[in-house]
Amino acid sequence: MAFRVLIIGGTGQVGAAVVRALAAEPSCAEVVMVNRRAISLTAGPRVRQVILDTTAAQFPAEVTKLAQSMVAQGDPVYAASCVGVGKGSMIMRASSSSERVYETADASFGSSASIWL
C-alpha cells in the first residue's frame, strides 16, 4: 500500500537522509518537505518542497492546509519533523520557532501520526 510523508525540516543531515531513504522506498508515493529555504532536489520526482517561514503567523494554517491536501489524495499520510536534530540541536530545541513547528505538526496530524526525529 502506498503512503505519503510530510517532513518539516528536511534540509539538514538527518532530514536529508530521511528524505533519501523515503525516495528510495517504492511504496512511498510522495515526500513533501517543508523548508525555510529552497534547496537543490536530487532525491527524485516523488519529492517536492514547500518553502514556508516557520516564524510567520500563518505557518500553522499553511501546514494544516498542506497536510489536508495530502490526506485528500487517499493514501495514508505520516508526518516527521527533523527540526533541531543533529549538530546544533540543543540550540534549535530551545527556540520558540522549533516548539511551534512541533505543535503545528501535532495539531495537523494528531500526535499519534507524528514522528519526531
Q: How far apart are CA 80 and CA 31, in angstroms?
A: 10
Q: How far apart are CA 77 and CA 100, in angstroms?
A: 21
pLDDT tens for each residue of the chain, 117 residues long: 899 999 888 777 788 888 888 888 999 999 999 988 887 877 678 899 999 988 888 988 898 899 999 999 999 998 888 776 554 444 444 444 445 555 555 555 554 444 444
CA angle 80, 107, 6 (to 5 degrees): 30
Which CATH number does the domain housing residue 60 bear?
Answer: 3.40.50.720
Question: Does the predicted model carry a pTM greater than 0.85?
Answer: no
The span from the first CA to the last CA of the chain, in angstroms, equals: 24
Alpha helices in the chain (DSSP H): 13-24, 59-71, 89-94, 96-109
Domain span at residue 71 reads: 3-116
Tell me the chain's radius of gyration from C-alpha atoms: 13
The total of structural domains in the chain comes to: 1
